[in-house]
Amino acid sequence: MDKENVYKHFTKSKEIAKFWPQEFLRDDLLTELLGDDIHDILYWSGKRLARKHPTNNVDSLISFFNQTNLGTLKLKHQGKDRFEWTLSGSIVEERIKIQKDPDFMFETGFLAQSIEQQLGVVAEGAMNPKKIKKNVVPILVQIDPKNKVSK
C-alpha cells in the first residue's frame, strides 16, 4: 500500500485512527531510516529497552505490552527451554494488513530480554513472518537454563 493510501486507511475510522502515530513513526519513518537493517536493529532495540523497562513476571510483561499498545500478548506454551507466545490485537492486525513485510522484531527482542532478566539465563527470540496466520504473530523465546547471566 502506498503512503498516501496508508494514511487514508488509518484515518477512515476512529477505531484504527489511534494507531496512525505508531504506524507513521515505526513502519514509515524507521523503515526509511534503517532500510535493510531494520529487522536486526529493532530486535536489539527491543532488548535494550527491556533492560530499561524491566518486568517482574509473565503477567507484568503481558500488561506492559497492553499498556504500550504493542498488542495482546499470550503465553501459549512454556517448556523447560522455550516459551511460545502469540501477539495479536487491533494494532497487529492493521500492521499485517498494510505492510508487505510486517516487522515484529522489536517485540521479539523485548520478550527475549524480559525473559532473560526474569529467569537469569540467556534467552533469544525468533519470529518468522511466514508463520503469521489469521493476524496472530507467533514468537518463540528459547532459553539456555545452563547459561546464567550476570547481574
62 near 50, Cβ under 8 Å?
A: no
Q: For a pLDDT cut of 90, what percent of the chain falls above it?
A: 68
The whole-number pLDDT of residue 124 equals 98
Q: Which residue has the higher pLDDT, 98 or 65?
A: 65
Scanning the chain, the segments in alpha helix (DSSP H) are 3-11, 14-17, 20-23, 30-34, 38-52, 58-67, 90-98, 105-119
Count Cβ atoms within 10 A of the Cβ of residue 29 and give its class: 0-12 exposed, 13-18 middle, 19 or more buried: exposed
**What's the number of domains the chain is made of?**
1
Residues 3-61: pLDDT tens digits?
667 777 777 777 777 777 888 888 888 888 999 999 999 999 999 999 999 999 999 99
The whole-number pLDDT of residue 26 equals 82
87 near 96, Cβ under 8 Å?
A: no
| Of the candidates 61, 90, 93, 92, the residue with the CA atom closest to the CA atom of residue 74 | 61
- The CATH number linked to 133 is 3.30.1380.20
Q: How far apart are CA 95 and CA 105, in angstroms?
A: 13
Q: How far apart are CA 114 and CA 13, in angstroms?
A: 34
Give me the mean pLDDT over the 85-108 stretch: 92
The grid cell for 72 is 495482546
Enclosing domain of residue 93? 3-148
pTM score of the predicted model: 0.90
